[in-house]
Amino acid sequence: MQNDGEPIGEIIEVHGPVAIIRCQQLPALRRAVYTKLDEDTCIFEVHRHISPHELQAVTLHSTQGLWRGMPVYDSGSPLHVPVAESCLGRLLNIFGEPLDGGPEIDTQQYRNIHHPPTPLNELSGQGELLPTGIKVVDLLCPFIRGGKAGLFGGAGVGKTVLIMEFMHAIAHLHQGVSVFSGIGERIREAHELWHDMQEAGVMEKALLVFGQMDESPGVRFRVSLSALAYAEYFRDSLHRDVLLVMDNVFRFVQAGAEVSSLLGRMPATVGYQPTLGSEVAELEDRITSSLQGAITSVQAVYVPADDMTDPAVTTILSHLDTSVILSRTQAAKGIYPAVDPLLSGSKVLDRHTLGERHYTIAEAVRGHLARYKELEDIIAMLGVEELSAQDQLIVARARKLQRYLTQPFVVTAAHTGMAGVSVDLKQTLKDCDGLLAGHYDDMSEDKFYMRGSLDGIG
């Protein structure tokens, strides 16, 4: 931000992270304005015009040290970030400034974080399946190139671990680039992710953008747009396929609710901001594939109190192609990844997209697991011996399928002592076909737990 001219106004009030600024001529909404505080620059984003000469702006820095009468200058544009191919391998904040102790991004090229979506005539349709090497995901809730997938779950069921495994898989299997947006991340999580990706050897193809938990709600509200600006740059200028990972989109909604209440808006359903739908749509509608490349998004979504009917959760869910629901019940049984195979699903789970064989096997697996769930209460009360011979066979195979769909991860190998495995989709289909056909009926269940393929099982 350069102080190139006369001040456009002055600060007259500060309420937490919100400043009221008096101007002779109001700058446009979403314009970045700033003031000088000793050697530092304090940047604000204009959010609301409250009179012909007064506006409300949300600070993207600490307000400590601000005083009435401080001059405010116009940056001349919305908030923008420096973009260059050298961004890959870096750890940055919302402004594109390094957090990894490295040099500043050396470039004269910038991109606004508020960018219009790709025009309809330049969009490309969704592409082929995007295998992840994770058996339960590839089989029952497959990802698609250029699609949007959400990982839903309460606290402690494994969303971040699964996100990290996806990033590892994309870097190794598909040779694309990854952009990680840490929205309200704990500094411990950011530090661990950074070091884990360096140790895994995938950091040179990734960019991490963090707005941490202790920062202004304005930062947590806009850091996802900064990460998206980088993803769009890699897609449009470098013609690369991009995996955009956001952890956690619920914190984006929370930050929006904080900003909304600070600006004096009346809360809507369950205390959320009245602009919830439009804010989520503005973010999601920019995650698209163009003729230059595809942005595939994987988004972790915290589910408050494990309530999938929460307004924030249902709003985000409506924009997604694939929903992976993580279940506390599965985690309690030791089933990891704790994906609920009956609640999870994908809009591409049909014969036309997957092919007849994949669709038939996926439906048969889901059918066996659904029947087992129906019979669980009877088994608990009367025992499995009271079931018919056919149901006993279905239950036995369903339990083996349930254990087969567990998998050790590369990113948890240091903690579990089990080497991570990646399983090809063809192998997963072959194994599940064999389980459904009864080829493994004489084997004990424990042989199927936490392993890769069934080749060589005995």
Between CA 363 and CA 208 the distance in angstroms is 38
Per the CB < 8 A criterion, the answer to whether 29 and 47 are in contact is yes
Strands (E) in 260-381, as ranges, are 295-302, 322-325, 345-346
Strand partners, 82: 110
Per the CB < 8 A criterion, the answer to whether 297 and 127 are in contact is no
Using the structure block, give the residue that is written with the tokens 């950074």: 194
Give the orientation angle of helix 425-437 with respect to helix 356-382, to 10 degrees. 50
Per the CB < 8 A criterion, the answer to whether 273 and 304 are in contact is no
DSSP string over 400-438:
HHHHHT----GGGHHHHSS------HHHHHHHHHHHHHT
Per the CB < 8 A criterion, the answer to whether 21 and 72 are in contact is yes
Instruction: Return all residues near 170 (Cβ < 8 A) that are at least 6 apart.
Output: 130, 132, 176, 178, 243, 296
Per the CB < 8 A criterion, the answer to whether 127 and 294 are in contact is yes
Which DSSP state fits 165?
H
Instruction: Return all residues near 452 (Cβ < 8 A) that are at least 6 apart.
Output: 407, 421, 422, 423
Catalogue the active-site residues: 159, 185-186
Between CA 39 and CA 52 the distance in angstroms is 32
